[in-house]
Structure 1
Amino acid sequence: MRGVLSGHFRGACGRLVAGTPGLRCLAGSLLGWILCLAGAFAQPGAPQPGGPVQAPSFLNALNFRDLPFIPIPEVGTDPNSGTTTGLLSVFLTTDEQREIRRILAPDVIHHPDFGFGSRGRIFSYPSEDTQWYVVGGLKQRVEREFDALYTTGRLRQEAWSWSVQAVYDRSGTSRFFGIGNGARRADQTNFVTGQAFAEVRVGWNASHDWQVAYLLRPRWVDVEAGVSRELPSIQAVFPGTGRLGAGYDLLNLLSVTYDTRDSLDVPTRGVALAAYAGVSPPVGSAASYSVAGIDARHFWPVARDLIVASHAALRTMPTGVTPPFWALGSLGGDRSVLAGAQPLRGFGAGRFIDRNAVSASLELRYTMLDLDLFKTTLSVELAPFVEVGRVYHDLTGNPLASLHAVGGLGFRAVARPFIVGYVDIGYGSEGLAVFSGIKYPF
């Protein structure tokens, strides 16, 4: 759904706009509900040759497949944000092919630190070539969010592709452990982060497989004192690196991509290779630095119901004397962002940050069954995964030394051709971490 996103800050601060608690609760709650129903559906003799599993008679009597909306008790969690509870209503609009074309999902929620709140979401999929969404919400205390995106030319069938995005986000759950691959868990701190940015991306399609793209993203970032009752505030432990106050950067990023995947949203085969370089120039008091890196993704269908998905990324910061910590590379969390944060699903987002970062992921995506549910066909996937990664300061350092490793299991509900909801459970050296959200991690 996104092109090249500004994941630097979102990874370092432990909050991805694409994985905000609002979207995490939506996907995690819906997926949990689907998996519970899947257990009831998967009865001996239930599968139909060449078609989705049908609901048992008692569920047919309740007309689950034809409900105009889905009422869902809401539970969202991740290592940084804690637990959010609430009640969610999901309205689905499907076309003649039973493909989801629009999702409307308002909710009422509660977080123990930030009180009651409400959010609204609308996701629209007019075609594989054009998509848009608007997400917004607030809580009684501290947290606010708004995210809107429009993108077209996704299939690269015309000469140009482009997207525009506007984001405002204020989070009270951000974490900072210090800089470096050996940052200690005992040094964990909390801070409130506010950010606002506008992002424009324009891509020239030399062919269906090759694209050259330019991204412009002015961004404002404000680091405020933490509000956690359990953790010290960032400036108390890191008075230099974690100093409070606002700043901004102006990223100009050029990327070259070779992409043969059969789908941008639910790929089953092909590769995507990208190389990029960018700079935030010293305009006024803007943070000045450069970035460069590569990103590789491969999807191999080894059997009809089994796909081997792999990903590797290297992000470097060749220049920048004293860039702010929110501009550095980061590891942790459940999302891969080109030129930004990279996943390490046994740790919270932004667990390790430094000038340079390297990561690799491997997962087996196995389709267990297909369900005829909610006016569409949902595929339930099981995905064991392993990941490794590290951050380092000097370009001359060994990127493969002292790697952090995690392993885990993912549960996914897939409504082709656009939608994936997931719950991923990872285990690393600091214990279990649970994530949920929309879209594959990579």
Structure 2
Amino acid sequence: MKHWQGWFGIFLLSLASISLSGCSSSFPSVMLPPPLPVERENNQVKSTLFPLPVMATDPNSGEDYGFLPVWVFPRKDKAIGMILAPSAIYNEVAGSSLAFRLLAYPSKETQYRIIVDQSTKINSFYEFSYEKSATQPQEWLYSVLFTYDADIFPRFYGFGNASSSSKETSYTSRNRILQGSFGYRITDNLELCFSETFSQISLSDNHLANLPPTASMFPGVMTDRRNTAVIHEIRCNYDTRDYKDTPTCGFLAKMYVQTARQDLGSDSSYDRLGFEFKGFQPWDSDDRRFITAVRLVGDFMTRESGTPFYRLPTLGGFETDRGYGQWRWIDRNMVAFSLEQRIDVFQLNHFGVVSHWEVAPFIDVGKVFPTFGKFNFHYFHPSAGIALRAVVRPQVVGHVEVGVGRGGDNAVFMGLGYPF
């Protein structure tokens, strides 16, 4: 009953957010000095505010309560130039967290992002990224990314598609990533990219009070508590979508190959390959208020030697199976499929910024498995639900995703971005 009360509260808060959405305001331009990419007129900067309440129920982290105001700033050409999205959120386990998010879009080809999210307890997240994309054939693209993520909420249930929820355990992870990539757009839709990633993950027995530590139930998997990987990746994308972050039509086919080797600086060796196919079909060509979105994803570790469990493919969470928590199932291989019908219910226009308010019923299904020889079409893990979203194209999505899994599992995810 508690979850249903939470969902009803989310519905009420979402209605309140919609009623307050699109509040227009101005700031003195000195508060947002160059080179921040915002339009300045008469020493003023105009913006549109989307106040989003936070009330989420995640199977792993529990209940979050707070506030996420999103300010959208146009640049001189009237496209979105910058987004400010601070937040204040309370979680019973992680404590109070304050976050600052700056997403900047100086031009159609470039963007950068700064995120600082610190809680009063262990959890923290820091990110800096810069990306220059290619919009025309025979152009180069490149990006750089740094993240630090300390998280007390990871879970381990054992390996395999049939791992039991009765064996749920908890640990704390700290993940540091430094990544650089460059690529080349070959045609209008085809690009090839190479990336180098330095990733260091460390674990500790600091665990949730209501769960046993992973080391007590699975001592074998916790012998390797620190792993450094230098990951080499080649990726090929075929992309016909109209927008990268908020597509209304088109198709994306992405395939990648990764390798990490001990003789090239990694603590363990593995080979990995994967694919992701996304399709977006509008059913009314004029305003595209009805869009069917599908996604098929596969992640396969074809060879591994001494690779710890926290580097294996996983199923569950906002991006793969929304009725369950992240890391619910772990094995060497994973496949997942999602289908949703996005319905544009109504639109608001403020200072030329158009927000689309969207409802999207969805179905997710997936499984993990040890080897290709043992793959079959039985025992997939389904979930279904509905999403409420506010979309400002081409970059902004605020979402509430309510998912129900088999066996009474359920989750509510809230934040920024599409699941796919």
Deviations 1:294-313 (A, max 9, x none): 22111111223111111111
**Cα separation, 1, equivalents of 2:351 and 2:55:** 20
Higher relative contact order, chain-length normalized (CA < 8 Å, sep 6+): 1
Structure 1 match to 2:304 = 320
Q: 1:127 aligns with which of 91, 107, 123?
A: 107
Relative distance call for 1:160 and 1:432 in structure 2 (3 A) is same
Structure 1 match to 2:386 = 409
Conserved in 2, the CA contact under 8 Å of 1:70 and 1:89? yes
Structure 2 match to 1:298 = 279
TM-score between both structures, scaled by the size of structure 2: 0.85
Matching residue's letter, 2:115: V
Alignment of 1:369-408 (within 5 A): 369-373=346-350, 376-408=353-385
**Cα separation, 2, equivalents of 1:100 and 1:77:** 31
Matching residue's letter, 1:439: G
**Does the alignment pair 1:196 with 2:181?**
no
Q: Which consecutive residues of structure 1, in runs of 5 or more, have no partner in the other structure?
A: 1-28, 41-58, 336-342
Matching residue's letter, 2:315: L
Conserved in 2, the CA contact under 8 Å of 1:358 and 1:399? no
**Cα separation, 1, equivalents of 2:134 and 2:343:** 26
**Cα separation, 2, equivalents of 1:246 and 1:209:** 40
Aligned residues: 386
Alignment of 1:146-225 (within 5 A): 146-225=126-205
Deviations 1:354-400 (A, max 9, x none): 00111111111110110235872210111111121110001212242
Q: 1:268 aligns with which of 219, 240, 248?
A: 248
**Cα separation, 1, equivalents of 2:382 and 2:73:** 41
Conserved in 2, the CA contact under 8 Å of 1:65 and 1:372? no
SS at match of 1:128: coil
**Cα separation, 2, equivalents of 1:387 and 1:88:** 27
Alignment of 1:15-414 (within 5 A): 35-36=15-16, 38=18, 64-66=23-25, 73-95=53-75, 99-243=79-223, 245-283=225-263, 284=265, 286-303=267-284, 304-335=288-319, 343-373=320-350, 376-414=353-391
**Cα separation, 2, equivalents of 1:177 and 1:374:** 50
**Cα separation, 2, equivalents of 1:94 and 1:268:** 21
Deviations 1:215-236 (A, max 9, x none): 1111000011133111111111
Deviations 1:317-351 (A, max 9, x none): 1111332111111111112xxxxxxx011111111
**Cα separation, 2, equivalents of 1:318 and 1:130:** 35
**Cα separation, 2, equivalents of 1:190 and 1:373:** 46
Which has the higher mean CA deviation after the structures are superposed, 369-378 or 201-210?
Answer: 369-378
**Cα separation, 2, equivalents of 1:154 and 1:436:** 31
Conserved in 2, the CA contact under 8 Å of 1:235 and 1:244? no
**Cα separation, 2, equivalents of 1:93 and 1:137:** 22
TM-score between both structures, scaled by the size of structure 1: 0.81
Q: CA deviation at 1:214?
A: 0.8
Which has the higher mean CA deviation after the structures are superposed, 94-103 or 274-283?
Answer: 94-103
**Cα separation, 2, equivalents of 1:352 and 1:189:** 13
**Cα separation, 2, equivalents of 1:246 and 1:295:** 29
**Cα separation, 2, equivalents of 1:277 and 1:285:** 17
Conserved in 2, the CA contact under 8 Å of 1:64 and 1:374? no
CA RMSD of aligned residues (A): 2.5
Q: Which consecutive residues of structure 2, in runs of 5 or more, have no partner in the other structure?
A: 1-8, 27-46
Structure 1 match to 2:39 = none
Task: Please identify which structure carries the higher strand content.
Answer: 2
Conserved in 1, the CA contact under 8 Å of 2:314 and 2:331? yes
Relative distance call for 1:192 and 1:375 in structure 2 (3 A) is farther
Moved >6 Å (runs of 4+): 29-32
Q: 1:432 aligns with which of 397, 410, 415?
A: 410
**Cα separation, 2, equivalents of 1:160 and 1:90:** 32
Q: CA deviation at 1:106?
A: 3.0
Among the aligned pairs, what percent are the same residue? 29
Conserved in 1, the CA contact under 8 Å of 2:321 and 2:383? yes
SS at match of 1:84: strand
Conserved in 2, the CA contact under 8 Å of 1:31 and 1:412? no
Conserved in 1, the CA contact under 8 Å of 2:273 and 2:302? yes
